[in-house]
């Protein structure tokens, strides 16, 4: 699980500091791998190799929103849907989402820490996924999540 304290402003301009949580389960990782032709990690590598900036941005957004949720009070569940609504949709409508998105899109270390933080223990991503935001001539191969 990845916990991120984000400073942002509400619609009235008030500064807020709040901790947000992001997590992917092993089942979600497997689903992402199996539901993408060639696997999700390979998709990321293709995007990096081709320097498809729109796809890079789309992938960051997808990873943020698919991993967003709230911890249950007892710490036994990570809630992503409440009362039939995806909590990530509400998060995406805040300035906190914008702050996180901009950090991940412009800071390779932050992007790497985020990816490594949302992947469950035992499936850690060993590659520098932050290379999504690196210039093409400085990129290396991304190791698939499940290797």
Please report, for residues 32, 61, 89, the alpha-carbon distance to residue 84 in angstroms, rounded to integers and kept in the order given.
22, 21, 12
**Running DSSP on this structure, what letter comes out for residue 75?**
S
> Residue 142 in contact with residue 44, Cβ under 8 Å?
yes
Radius of gyration of the chain (CA): 16
Three-state DSSP state, 86: strand
> What are the pLDDT tens digits along the chain (147 aa)?
999 999 999 999 999 999 999 999 988 988 888 887 777 777 777 776 777 778 778 888 999 999 999 999 999 999 999 999 999 999 999 999 999 999 988 887 888 888 888 988 766 543 334 344 433 333 434 344 443
């Amino acid at each position: 699980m990845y916990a991120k304290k984000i400073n942002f402003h509400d619609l009235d301009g008030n500064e807020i500091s709040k901790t947000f949580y992001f997590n992917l389960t092993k089942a979600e990782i497997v689903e992402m791998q199996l539901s993408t032709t060639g696997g999700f990690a390979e998709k990321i590598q293709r995007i990096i190799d081709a320097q498809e900036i729109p796809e890079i941005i789309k992938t960051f957004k997808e990873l943020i929103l698919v991993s967003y949720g709230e911890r249950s009070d007892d710490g036994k569940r990570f809630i992503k849907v409440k009362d039939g609504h995806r909590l990530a949709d509400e998060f995406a409508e805040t300035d906190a989402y914008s702050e996180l998105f901009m950090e991940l899109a412009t800071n390779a270390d932050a992007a790497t820490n985020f990816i490594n933080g949302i992947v469950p223990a035992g499936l850690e991503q060993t590659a520098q996924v932050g290379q999504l935001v690196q210039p093409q001539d400085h990129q290396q191969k991304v190791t698939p999540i499940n290797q």
